[in-house]
Amino acid sequence: MKWSDQSSSKTPLRPEPEVVHICIIDADPIFSRQLGERLAGELPKMVNIVGMYDGIPDVLEVPYEVSLVIFDPELDDFRRLSEAISRMRESFGQEVHLAVHGDFWTEKDNQLKRDLQNLDIWYGFRRYDFRRCIKLVTKIAMGEPVQLWHLEFIS
């Protein structure tokens, strides 16, 4: 089949992935660096690590629009959870994807997880589950509708 014949195919072309601009909030700089390097290494054309912070940054600290914030809700900044989530949305925008990393995320009856879900935080993965994080970033980069995949990341 000639290349020109392929263009008339009824199979739609997959869209080019969007770059996911990621901010990581964690008190452990080694973990943040490992996560950032792993994401950038596995998804080089889909990932831009915008910043790594040990707490919620002020609005002016964020260099530009962020698509995804990966955060540890057990940091001191999150003791007042509702206020902290509001601050993050103020810093990063209302449309930003917020994803939790923490070993508690896979526990069914975890109070912190329920509190986060009550605040509309539905994505999460265990702390060193880099494969799961890569899968999440890929879904966002490919522009897949959240309704089709968000349940994968609830537990």
Residue 110: closest CA among 155, 79, 55:
155
Domain extent at residue 55:
16-153
pLDDT at 16: 83
Find the mean pLDDT for residues 21-45. 94
11 within domain boundaries: no
Residues whose CB falls within 8 Å of the CB of residue 116, separated by 6 or more in sequence, listed in order: 73, 81, 100, 124
Q: Write the pLDDT tens digit of every residue in 9-18.
A: 455 556 788 9
Total domains, the chain = 1
Asked, for residue 6, whether it belongs to a domain, the answer is no
Note whether residue 4 is domain-resident: no
Q: Is there a domain that residue 117 lies in?
A: yes
Question: pLDDT (tens digit, 9 = 90+) per residue, 35-91?
Answer: 999 999 999 999 999 989 998 888 778 777 899 999 999 988 899 999 999 999 988
CATH assignment of the domain containing 145: 3.40.50.2300
Half-sphere exposure of 106 (CA within 13 A, CB side): 7
| Global pTM exceeds 0.75 | yes
44 is a domain residue: yes
